[in-house]
Amino acid sequence: MTDPDEIASYGPAAVPRARRPAIAGLGMTPIGKVYGTPAAELAAEAVRLAAADAGLRLADIDGLLTSSGVTPGAGLHLQQMLGLTGLGLSCDMQAFGTTAAAMVQYASMAVMTGMAQAVACVFADVPLRQDKATGTAYDGSRFAPAGWRGLLTASGIGAATTMYALAASRHMTVYGTTSEQLGHIAVAQRQWAALSPLAQMREPITLEDHQSSRWVSEPLHLLDCCLVSNGGIAVIVTSAQRAAELAQPPVHVLGWAQSHPGRPRESFGLVSGAATAGPAALAMAGVKLADIDVTELYDCYTYTVMITLEDYGFCAKGEGGPFAASGVLGPGGKLMLNTGGGELSGYYLWGMTPLSEAVIQARGQGGDRQAGRHDLVLVSGNGGVLDHHATLVLGRG
């Protein structure tokens, strides 16, 4: 990875201001228990809504990045569904929970280099089925029971929650992190969700509710786990010059980075890719962590929030648990974190959850949950079992 001191000179600051990337459109279909619409149609609708939000026609889109969740559907054929011709950029992408942030990164580079002028980045998924329990969507049973992946499932570790539980458990062993500390994250995000009309789970919960919710995989309770949602979200990335002429306040893409640590024997569960990607993204943007006003972190589990806070440097390594329990979270706390309720209480559309709320906050369109200061927004994506991480630094004005 590039020396942090040099990173700024490779980022958006390297090109004239007019050609720097900005998010100009956000499209969100109905999200949650939305049945009967295939993922491809939700993806197409999200792109249409994002273009309309920006004040663009579909014909103005000249770049398309697509991504699917556990159900295929949002792929290259969206170009045909949308009637798009003459694209300068097209790719179906998959980096799990980092994909949304990564799509914005590749779209930004395409805009900076002139490959495309208006890139639609879209994700859609329909894991929920009316006739199946919510938990079956991610329990590994959709994967063919063959090969190495099949062996993990046959060994009793097929569910993503079990793999994250093993990561969280290691953190607890080494640093003394507790379930109650993780519970503070769940409670705070539910408080935010209560303020958001987009959130699926708005009933307040207490720390006692968290502690008494059933075990899924110890040390993770049910209320440590994200929701499962159907829906589609798209953003449009264009140049700052173009964005300034469009319908919405531009949200500038100031800095970014990825880090894919895999699962190192010595540090799996203890340090994530956020430790590398966070500082690099901030360096590219030319800002410091203390300058960040709003933080939207990928929160497939409460534990994921905790370790990302540590690795971004909001607190020292190993102190993520006590930090989360120190009263800094929730509306009125000093850290404006996961202001829409996140994936735990808002809605779960992989990396599009933190990205969409970041765009809403940066624009100042958060309504009852709007952060007072929102000049700089930090966004994370996390994929696999801490295998993949992506960071975005977004800014208004």
Partner 1 sequence: MTAGAVRRDSATAEFFDGTARDQFLLRRCADCGTFAEPYLRYCPSCESDRLEWAAAAGGATVVSWSVVHRRVRAGQPAQASVVVIAALDEGPLWWAEVLDADPARAAAEVAAGQRLAITFEHVPEYEAVPAFRLA
Q: Residue 254's closest CA among 10, 1, 21?
A: 21
Binding flag, residue 265, partner 1 (CB under 8 A):
yes
Residue 315 burial (CB count, 10 A)? 17
Which residue in this structure is represented by tokens 């000049």?
375
Does residue 35 carry a catalytic annotation? no
Q: Is 83 or 156 the residue whose CB approaches partner 1 more closely?
A: 156
How many chain residues touch partner 1 (CB under 8 A)? 35
The residue among 35, 63, 62, 61 whose CA lies nearest residue 49 is 61
- Strands 89-92 and 63-68, by their bridges, are parallel
Encoded one letter per residue, x for contact with partner 1 by CB under 8 A and - for no contact, window 168-197 reads -xx--xx-----------------------
Q: How far apart (Å, rounded) are the C-alpha atoms in residues 216 and 351?
A: 23
**For the chain, first and last CA: distance in Å?**
29
Residue number with CB closer to partner 1 (265 or 334): 265
User: With contact defined as beta carbons under 8 Å apart, do 253 and 101 qualify?
Assistant: no
Pick from 16, 145, 176, 367 the residue near partner 1 by CB under 8 A: 145
Which of 86-94, 178-186, 208-216, 223-231 is the region at the interface with partner 1 (rule: CB under 8 A)?
Answer: 208-216
- Whether residue 92 contacts residue 103, with contact meaning beta carbons closer than 8 Å, is answered with no
Site for partner 1 in 218-257 (CB under 8 A): 218-219
In the residue annotation, 348 being an active-site residue is answered as: yes
Per the omega criterion (within 30 degrees of 0), is the bond before 30 cis?
A: no
Q: Which is the catalytic residue, given 106, 138, 164, 298?
A: 298
Among residues 231, 269, 381, 395, the one that binds partner 1 under rule CB under 8 A: 269
One symbol per residue from 150 to 169: x for binding partner 1 (CB under 8 A), - otherwise; what is it? xxxxxxxxxx--xx-xxx-x
User: Shortest distance, CB of residue 34 to partner 1, whole angstroms?
Assistant: 23
Nearer to partner 1 (CB atom), residue 221 or residue 389: 221
| Beta-carbon contacts of residue 25 (< 8 Å; ≥ 6 apart) | 50, 51, 52, 53, 54, 55, 56, 234, 235, 236, 246, 248
Q: Which residues bind partner 1 (CB under 8 A)?
A: 133, 135, 145-148, 150-159, 162-163, 165-167, 169-170, 173-174, 214-219, 263, 265, 268-269
Q: Which residues are catalytic?
A: 298, 348
